[in-house]
A and B are shown apart, each in its own frame.
Chain A
Amino acid sequence: MIGLSALELAEAVRSEQIGVAEAVKAYLERIENIDSQLNAFLTVSRKEALTRAEVVQKKISAGERLSALAGVPIALKDNISTTGVTTTCASKMLAGYVPVYNASVVDKLEQAGMIVIGKLNMDEFAMGGSSETGAFGPVRNPWDMTRVAGGSSGGCAAAVAGREIPIALGSDTGGSIRQPCSFCGVTGIKPTYGSVSRYGLIAYASSLDQIGPLGQDINDCAALLSIISGPDEKDRTCVIDKPFVFSQSVPERLEGIKIGLPSNYFHSGIDAAVKDSVLAAAEELASAGAEVEEFVMPLMDFLIPAYYIIACAEASSNLSRFDGIRYGYRSAEGKTLAEVYRLSRSEGFGLEVKRRIMLGSFVLSSGYYDAYYKKALQAQVLLKDAYNHLFKCFDLILSPVAPTTAYKLGENVDDPLKMYLGDIYTVSVNLAGLPSVALPCGFDGQGLPIGLQFIGDAFAEEKLIQAARVYQGRTDYHTKRPGWT
């Protein structure tokens, strides 16, 4: 059963070849056996999962058609709130915090008959690109345990790649679903901003954050996105009017589809193996009938500055709620209210979180606001305009996800700027609120996975998914697994 795709497992459950509890137990056992190596899970909710499995089994046996993924175990990045189950954001600040409400996506998973079996490791408060900044140890890459899994949804990608779970939900603020997918050789979708509710997602940068699926292939991810998307009265920014319904047909060709390839993404700072794999994918898509044309991505030098200014500004505001009073860590040393605030935050947050709060405070402060924050918002408007123009010329854009494959644990932790620059291909998608899918497209000389992304216009997920289906129909990178699994 381990190794079946989520849709295959759901089919086996529906036809009663596999029981829901049997599936849940198999994955719980797998996590117990191998997670000490990967450190992908922060919490395993065995009891709750087994109780839920019984409820879902009864419904399925009674012939209730819950969803395409009913009976399938799933795990969630630990910034997605779960009633009664610890939700820590991989931070000492929230160690032991137990939400009293579910994120809206969790309610939707339950209605769909999916079984949440645990919470996944990540960078602290989703701030990082390697899943090393969390308070509970780094996630290790299943393809090479001496390397990072990527981040910030590194636990999600490692758990899927290590087959600890068939499918997972992560979040993407500047590449946090796509980059770990690329590093771990799995598939993921960063949905259009406003298509999935953020209610109950512990905020990092609210105007950029979006929850999305990570799975073994595009069909699994599309099925899960259909379940979690849709309007929500608890999130006013969730502007979609109904859940996505994706076509069941799988096209074999891409005739009539025009794909843009940003030539300046390949000039410098990119590993030769990544460049070669993504260009080979462009050729594959062309041989499937797509018209591939190069263009120069505008504003490239301004993407990282604009992203980090806006994200850190929002983070400094969002994280002001952690004050040691109502929930979370409280310093034993504070004698006055101000001391409780300052000491609780100073002892509860890790260095990367402090760095981003300080940066955010700086760019919002009097005297610097116009030169940094306002300027970044203006750059964002220009970027959105540029993408609007590009999507008049192209149906989708093909680009690498990250300039490198997974690097060694500890290699970049002391060089935050280098880490930030690794987000060069992903952040523009979040700044413009666009959808993107990340797919495995090759391996480097050391056998490490390489990922590509398709970027589409807002709410053009169907187009991205169809192109991804064609690509995965013609290649087998997404079917490869680390040898030991």
Chain B
Amino acid sequence: MAIKIDQELIEYLEDLSYLTLSQKEKQRLTGDLQEILERMTLLAALDTEGVCERSHRFGGVNALREDEVRPSFNRELILRNAPHRNKEMFMMPKTVE
């Protein structure tokens, strides 16, 4: 499957990735992704007919335990890592106009 990385696809991937690239980065990554994905496309030659893929190596066995009360992390220490905070909350731009 031939793939062509163009400006439109790069911008679509920027949106999916929540990134805004500089012009220089866009130019650079257009070439890089083209070359890398051409290599990835080698996989098309592999016969995988009837092979069932697994996204988890150990299946889905859950570890269950009784509910018990345990101390949680210290709120003040967590908030100290926030770039913007008020006394007890993370601050972010208004989301509803």
Distance from A135 Cβ to chain B, minimum over Cβ atoms (Å) = 16
A98 in the interface, Cβ–Cβ < 8 Å? yes
State whether the Cβ of B48 lies closer than 8 Å to any Cβ in chain A: yes
Asked if residues A362 and B25 are in contact (CB atoms below 8 Å), the reply is no
Is B87 in contact with chain A by the CB < 8 A criterion?
Answer: no
Asked if A324 CB lies within 8 Å of chain B CBs, one says yes
Query: Are A327 and B81 interface neighbours, CB within 8 A?
Result: yes
Which residue of B29, B58, B77, B83 is within 8 Å of A324 (Cβ)?
B83
Q: A residues within 8 A CB of B90?
A: 325-326
B82 lies within 8 A of A326 (CB): yes
Given A340-B92, A362-B13, A420-B36, answer yes or no on A381-B54 (Cβ-Cβ < 8 Å).
Answer: yes
Contacting pair B43 A375 (CB below 8 A):
yes
Q: Is A359 interfacial (CB 8 A cutoff)?
A: yes
Contact of B32 with A by CB under 8 A = yes
Q: Could you tell me if B46 and A379 are in contact, using CB atoms closer than 8 angstroms?
A: yes
| B33 and A362 form a contact (CB under 8 A) | yes
| A327-B82, A381-B54, A382-B51 given; A359·B36 CB < 8 A | yes
Taken residue by residue from 39 to 61, chain B's Cβ proximity to chain A (1 for < 8 Å, 0 otherwise) reads as: 11111111010011111111000
Asked if A361 contacts B93 (CB within 8 A), the reply is: no
Q: Given the known inter-chain contacts A101-B73, A239-B58, A378-B48, please indicate yes or no for A342 contacting B36, CB distance below 8 A.
A: no
Q: Which residues of B contact A349 (CB under 8 A)?
A: 19
Chain B residues with a Cβ closer than 8 Å to the other chain, count: 54
Q: Assess whether A345 is interfacial by the CB under 8 Å rule.
A: yes
Residue A427 at the chain B interface, CB threshold 8 Å:
no
Interface size, chain A (Cβ < 8 Å): 69
Interface of A is mostly: helix
Measured between beta carbons, the chain A residues less than 8 angstroms from B48 are 375, 378-379, 382
Chain B residues whose C-beta falls within 8 Å of the C-beta of A368 in the assembled complex: 3
Knowing A207-B57, A327-B82, A361-B17, the reply to whether A417 touches B40 (Cβ < 8 A) is: no
CB contacts (< 8 Å) of B6 on chain A: these are none
Does A194 sit at the interface, judged by CB under 8 A? yes
Distance between B87 CB and nearest chain A CB, rounded to angstroms: 16
Distance to closest chain B CB from A418 (angstroms)? 10
Verify A381–B21 contact, CB threshold 8 A: no
Inter-chain CA distance A328–B90, complex, in Å, is: 12
Knowing A326-B82, A336-B93, the reply to whether A375 touches B13 (Cβ < 8 A) is: no
Decide: B55 and A351 in contact? CB cutoff 8 A. no
What sequence of 0s and 1s flags, for each residue 2-22 of chain B, a beta carbon within 8 Å of any chain A beta carbon? 010000011011101111110
Judge whether B1 is part of the interface by a CB distance below 8 angstroms: yes
A372-402 Cβ-contact flags toward B at 8 Å (1 or 0): 1011111111100000000000000000000
Partner of A302, one of B46, B58, B80, B92: B46
**Binding stretch for chain B, among A29-37, A303-311, A403-411:** A303-311
Assess whether A342 is in contact with B40, with CB atoms less than 8 Å apart. no
Contact check, B40 vs A377: say whether CB atoms are below 8 A apart: no
Q: Report, nearest first, the 10 A-B pairs whose CB atoms are least far apart.
A: A377-B53, A330-B83, A327-B81, A378-B48, A361-B16, A378-B51, A305-B40, A100-B77, A361-B17, A305-B43
Give residues in B with beta carbon < 8 Å to A. 1, 3, 9-10, 12-14, 16-21, 25, 28-29, 32-33, 35-37, 39-46, 48, 51-58, 62-63, 65, 73-74, 77-78, 80-84, 90, 92-93, 95
Chain A positions near chain B (C-beta within 8 angstroms): 97-98, 100-101, 193-194, 207, 233, 236-237, 239, 299, 301-302, 304-306, 308-309, 316, 320, 323-330, 334-343, 345-346, 349, 351, 354-355, 357-363, 365, 368, 371-372, 374-382, 416-417, 420, 433
